[in-house]
Amino acid sequence: MNESAPIDQVSRPQAMFYAVQECLRSALGSIRSHRMRSFLTMLGVIIGVASVICIVSLLQGLTQSVMNEFQGIGGNTLQIHSHTPREDRMLGKWNRMKPEDLALVKYRVAGISNVTPITGLNLPGGLRHEDNTSAAQIIATTSWFQYANQSYPRLGRFVTESDNDSRRRVVVLGDKAREDLKLPENPLGTFIQVGGQWFKIVGLMEARGEMFGQSMDNYVVIPFETGRALSGPNREPDMAIMVTVDDLDAVEDVKSRITAQLRRAHKIAPDQADDFQVESSQTLTDTIQRVSGTITLVISAVVGISLLVGGVGIMNIMLVSVTERTREIGIAKALGAPRSFILMQFLIEAMVLAVIGGTIGIGIGWLLGVLAAAIIPHFPPPAVPWWAIVGATGFSALVGMLFGILPARRAANLAPIDALRHE
């Protein structure tokens, strides 16, 4: 007895392996013999999985494109800008960053460099060259902007501290602004009008492409003090402050010190919210990932309902299959096939149908994502993450298993005598 125990322990897994192998062979044979019916059965699963993969691939491609743009700025770059609660904005109250805040950050916070103010200007007259105009954003900043933003001139130079101190009327163009103004490939030395004033072009920035269908090169840069002068003495434009943290590991510490200094300078009580925000590119990418993940989850859950419809289709067809194969089941039981084998046979067949449908749906969904990205202007290429493929395949198998239980139990519970008498 003791010698036969190990043989039984070894033979039981082998028997299970052969049983599963036979069930798979039987399932594939049944699918091949009823190709059209099997395809129509899988159609609900195919549509559901294809829809989920298409939407996920588009969202992930868009998210990855946006994250790459922000990561190009650098993970150790911080932006400080004013923040006004919605209630105050409705009352016409607006918080602003001031030159005193710039000096405070520049001289009282250690561990940072490339401190630069940034102001977006809305000047009457905009940009003009001869009869051509441009709606490009007018940015007033200093020479440190190119280092903090990691964006450099392709031709010529950037604005300098000398330009800023002298309020010199020089301008650096983005490539889209150059195209709108119908300027030559090398526009250096050309004069254009900025807010009705003549400015000399001293640089042309590197092209950065597009995001969300909007050009990243549709801007011009002028010296910060020149921009303040153009705004007039009675209007101090709101500004942001961009800084580079010298040690990447100290980003959070620097953010805390900047927050403490500005709260003290703005006389904000401990129970009051900040009237400013300190953000890093990592903060922005984390926010984008969080929003994208939520949208992906909600849309996938809604679209995934169609998988349940596909599961109902599988259950109906499997019930029909049980009826058609009643005599086969009776013969198998009469020859000694256990109830568990019959149960496993029909359960595996339902899962195989669902998994094949899910696999086809993954391929169709990816093709639909590629087609949609090609049709939508300037849309980034889709990206199908591994977890979407694994999740779609696993969920398809789960749907097949859940909706295959009822037909499988019905087949397994048939009495051999009744099954053999079935016509």
Among the listed residues 129, 137, 201, the one whose alpha carbon sits nearest the alpha carbon of residue 169: 201
Print the domain residue range for 257.
Answer: 96-274
Q: Clarify whether residues 122 and 195 are in a common domain.
A: yes
State pLDDT tens for residues 66-109.
766 665 555 678 889 888 888 877 877 788 888 888 899 989 88
Residue 418 in this model has a pLDDT that exceeds 70: no
Q: Clarify whether residues 178 and 300 are in a common domain.
A: no
Q: Clarify whether residues 145 and 56 are in a common domain.
A: no
Q: Clarify whether residues 102 and 46 are in a common domain.
A: no
Q: Clarify whether residues 108 and 237 are in a common domain.
A: yes
Query: 111 lies in a domain?
Result: yes
Domain boundary (274, 305, 331) is at 274
Distant-in-sequence, close-in-space partners of 336: CB < 8 Å, separation ≥ 6? none
The per-residue pLDDT for 294 is 79
Q: Clarify whether residues 386 and 333 are in a common domain.
A: yes
Query: 217 lies in a domain?
Result: yes
Query: 317 lies in a domain?
Result: yes
The domain tally of the chain equals: 2
Query: 167 lies in a domain?
Result: yes
Put residue 354 in one of left, alpha, beta given phi > 0 → left and psi -120 to 50 → alpha.
alpha
Q: Clarify whether residues 137 and 199 are in a common domain.
A: yes
Distant-in-sequence, close-in-space partners of 3: CB < 8 Å, separation ≥ 6? none
Query: 282 lies in a domain?
Result: no
Query: 366 lies in a domain?
Result: yes
Domain boundary (244, 274, 304) is at 274
State pLDDT tens for residues 288-338.
677 777 777 777 677 667 677 777 777 777 777 766 666 666 676 666 666
Query: 8 lies in a domain?
Result: no
Q: What is the DSSP string of 299-364?
A: HHHHHTHHHHHHHHHHHHHHHHHHHHTHHHHHHHHHTT--HHHHHHHHHHHHHHHHHHHHHHHHHH
Residue of 200 and 288 predicted with greater confidence: 200
**% of residues, the chain, pLDDT over 90:** 20
Among the listed residues 111, 102, 183, the one whose alpha carbon sits nearest the alpha carbon of residue 140: 102
Among the listed residues 226, 296, 249, the one whose alpha carbon sits nearest the alpha carbon of residue 75: 249
